[in-house]
Amino acid sequence: MIDLKDIEDAGKRIRNHILATPLTLSSSLSNICAVPVHLKLEHHQTTGSFKLRGAFNAILQLSQEERDRGVVTASTGNHGRALSFAANTCGVTATICMSNLVPENKVSEIRRLGAEVRIVGRSQDDAQEEAERLASGEGLCLVPPFDHPAIIAGQGTLGLEIIKSLPDVATVLIQLSGGGLASGVAAAVKSLRPDARVIGLTMDRGAAMKASLDAGRPVEVEEFESLADSLGGGIGLANKWTFAMCWDLLDDVILLSETEIAAGIQHAYAQEREVVEGAGAIGIAALLANKVGDLQGPVVTVLSGRNIDMDLHRRVVSG
């Protein structure tokens, strides 16, 4: 399991390459929930999501021989964008494999950052198979989107920032997809504040980690289109890290409907003046829907990303 030292080392490694994002009090959500609610504005990160933390932590630990080979990954969009940026910064070529479900705005931004793009199949699992084929067949260095120690430790640095800014935090609401963010943040928070609750949030369609936790082992699920597109995809039947960490560290997992996620996007824009994608709004959605049982404050909910197609955003906020 990734521990506090791994995360602290990652923080030192990447601190000159990422932003320490703000933590702000939401008066509107605090009034609604009757406890202090703080927003971790991670969507202000350089590439528009938390993924840059793990991407830089992985790239910066590669040997020169690995850098010379170039990197490859599978992505639902944000990891690919972050890895492309980090690789370009470090002079490394990148190939990003994605499925047809990834929104075009995310694909085009990855191309703009100079990465080679491969569109394969209709699921994250299809994209992962292509990334693994390129790694084994063409010698590219595989940098997974979540199930990797460097990725988990990098994402965990967000948890360090939460505790530094709000040492008495009682509840952390965190996005749950493949588990890199959730497991890293939970490891950091629980190490420094063991009594804090860390609750994973995901959509109610194709929630692979939730289905796997319910089954007691990694399982495959069908992937669906969602406003929270970056939470889609499987966790891998051969999952080595994130399943066990989420099993041990998460206090609960909450599912949100598309209607609830849309309400979160609307609230973020109308009340917080923030543009966030569906996954980024899912903590707000859970609070608005009163789905967090026995809510104890102070609460931190992470706004994890802003990379939403703006035409889609306009339609959502217009109702």
Catalytic residue annotation? 51, 304
> Residue 110: which of 63, 48, 181, 62 has the closest Cα?
48
User: Could you identify the residue written with the tokens 């969602």?
Assistant: 226
* Burial tier of 133 (Cβ tally within 10 Å: 0-12, 13-18, 19+): middle
- For the four alpha carbons of 41, 256, 291 and 289, in that order, the dihedral sign comes to positive
In angstroms, the CA 62 to CA 195 distance is: 36
Q: How many CA atoms lie within 13 A of 40 on its CB side?
A: 32
The number of beta carbons lying within 10 Å of the beta carbon of residue 304 is: 32
The number of beta carbons lying within 10 Å of the beta carbon of residue 247 is: 15
> Residue 165: which of 300, 286, 294, 307 has the closest Cα?
300
